[in-house]
Amino acid sequence: MDFAAQFQAYRDRAEQGLDRLLPPGTTRPARLHEAMRYALLGGGKRLRPVLVLAASDLFGARHDALAAAVAIECIHTYSLVHDDLPCMDNDDLRRGRPTTHKQFDEATALLAGDSLLTFAFQLIGRHYAGQPGLAAALTREIAEAAGSERLVGGQMEDLLAEKKTNATAEELEFIHLNKTAAMIVVSLVAGGLCGGATDAQLDGLRTTGRHLGLAFQIVDDVLDATADTATLGKTAGKDAKAGKTTYVKLHGLDASRKFAREQTDAALAALRSLPGDQKFLAALIESMASRLN
Amino acid sequence: MDFAAQFQAYRDRAEQGLDRLLPPGTTRPARLHEAMRYALLGGGKRLRPVLVLAASDLFGARHDALAAAVAIECIHTYSLVHDDLPCMDNDDLRRGRPTTHKQFDEATALLAGDSLLTFAFQLIGRHYAGQPGLAAALTREIAEAAGSERLVGGQMEDLLAEKKTNATAEELEFIHLNKTAAMIVVSLVAGGLCGGATDAQLDGLRTTGRHLGLAFQIVDDVLDATADTATLGKTAGKDAKAGKTTYVKLHGLDASRKFAREQTDAALAALRSLPGDQKFLAALIESMASRLN
């Protein structure tokens, strides 16, 4: 298996799905739909939709997982658009381009974020209308992952932690598990649902995703502390400058790298409990950790 | 039928459902859940959940409509919370109390709005898990009504119209149909889905809701121009002060009252095509218009 080629193939499918499933920029109101497309189609790794598609393929991909993949990327993107707003992280740069509120204005970015979140559920409703059991399960899993006790809860605690600049290790884990890992977990679970995974297999996907999500966030923290803005495509060293508590600040670089390695190994172990050809997902999980080398 | 008593009975059911179904304010992160509850439990007419429950009762209420009613009120409330933010309408007062961003802060209000929107779909997922066909239909109808081409689209055009202060009658109708009528329509449709309405009956509910929504918005515009802040429980005369284009500004008070009457009559006519005991819904529709007398 050529990992890079396979990743690119999944990524291309995701990009095409995003472009095709999003309403055209000319849809009324045009400014809103242009902002949605600007936020969504500005590049990015597409890690989450790739995870959806790859997880679905593990189980034979009984139902097309593309709409679920696009829905999850819409939610991820909405969370970035709102996170970048002046009242949140107040960031000007995202994926090497002006953030949505810089390119348009704050109100348009707010509404574009709201629209992207809602559109995720429109997509599930439209594309799985013929499989109501699947539509209902996807709605349930995705909404729970994106909700006040997971994704948004993580953002809220992240914000509170920034203000006090002395968050505990326990608070930091809550933030990582919810702000980052929840959407990684649900990417794998949504793929599993489309592929026809059993409940036990869905649990295996959850465990894989939780470890992968933690590894991913810690690698991000390490890169923020060690890489430059051009490499990252977003403002580097921002966490330290803001006095923000990160895994690196709390435990140091060496312990962070070690923890990332442990979480990567745990993700790989959980993946091995699943059926199908796991080579691609194993290489993807490994590639996260290897960003640190 | 005692309309006031019946309305209060539906409203009480909605209030109890909101309090019971929302996560407790102590749920982690507490600040976020307190803000969600502050925004949602601060009174309000509860028109939309009452419409859901009453529409469901027309058809015999095959499935419990309370979770759908609460979900729709969550979406209505999120749209108010985001609409009140400084980058949008910048309003300090809502239902006679400080707006959510005034009571908490902007970031918390932003995230509480995001959470309420998401929670609507969590509720649908949780409460109709045993009826996947119903869950999928509710997700589809509610997400479409709340999306970029309806509710959020209406908010976007409303914002653009404010900036130019010379919106056309056509633009104003787009705003009213989408910013206001879409969620009124889907309230009736969600009730119909829970009650077991046929496709033709759902269409009748859509027509009723569209006319009711237009009447409702025009009555609001007339009241904004003629009533005082204490009566409204929100800042009065705000539209005129902002130079905002309203139905009243465009067509005058007399024509606005006449149009509200016509839309009310059209809503009543559409309602008569539906089965069941229509007395309560007819009285509710009439009560909207009679606020002007």
> Looking at residues A41-58, what average pLDDT do you find?
94
The alpha carbon of A291 is separated from its chain's Cα centroid by a whole number of angstroms, namely 17
pLDDT at A109: 98
- Full 3-state SS string of B257-280: HHHHHHHHHHHHHHHCCCCCCCHH
A156 has a pLDDT exceeding 90:
yes
Q: Burial of B40 by CB count in 10 Å (0-12 exposed, 13-18 middle, 19+ buried)?
A: buried
pLDDT at B150: 98
pLDDT at B288: 83
What residues in A contact B89, CB-CB < 8 Å? none
Quote the mean pLDDT of chain B.
93
Pair of tokens at residue A55: 């997880």
Cis peptide before A29 (omega within 30 of 0): yes
**Tens digits of residue pLDDT in A254-280:** 999 999 999 999 999 999 999 999 999
- The answer to whether A182 and A213 have CB atoms below 8 angstroms apart is yes
ipTM associated with this complex:
0.95
- In whole angstroms, what is the distance from residue B34 CA to residue B39 CA? 9
pLDDT at B236: 65
- In whole angstroms, what is the distance from residue B31 CA to residue B229 CA? 30
Query: From the CA of A141, how many Å to the nearest CA of chain B?
Result: 8
CB contact under 8 A, A29 and B153: yes
Nearest CA in chain B to A31: B156
CB contact under 8 A, B153 and A126: no
Quote the mean pLDDT of chain A.
93
What residues in A contact B124, CB-CB < 8 Å? 139, 143
Residue B27 is classified by DSSP as S
Q: Which of A88, A113, A121 sits opposite B139 (nearest CB)?
A: A121
pLDDT band at A288 (very low <50, low <70, confident <90, very high): confident
Going along chain A from its start, the domains and CATH numbers come out as 3-290 (1.10.600.10)
A64 has a pLDDT exceeding 70:
yes
CB contact under 8 A, B152 and A118: yes
CB contact under 8 A, B114 and A174: no
Q: B163-182 burial string, b = 16+ CB within 10 Å, else e?
A: eeeebeeebbebbbbbbbbb
A106 has a pLDDT exceeding 80:
yes
What residues in B contact A137, CB-CB < 8 Å? 132
**Tens digits of residue pLDDT in B115-170:** 999 999 999 999 999 999 999 999 999 999 999 999 999 999 999 988 776 788 89
Q: Please list the pLDDT of chain B residue by residue as tens digits (293 residues).
A: 799 999 999 999 999 999 999 999 999 999 999 999 999 998 888 999 999 999 999 998 678 999 999 999 999 999 999 999 999 999 999 988 999 999 999 999 999 999 999 999 999 999 999 999 999 999 999 999 999 999 999 999 999 988 776 788 899 999 999 999 999 999 999 999 999 999 999 999 999 999 999 999 999 889 888 876 656 566 666 666 677 778 888 899 999 999 999 999 999 999 999 999 999 999 999 998 777 65
What residues in B contact A118, CB-CB < 8 Å? 117, 143, 146-148, 152
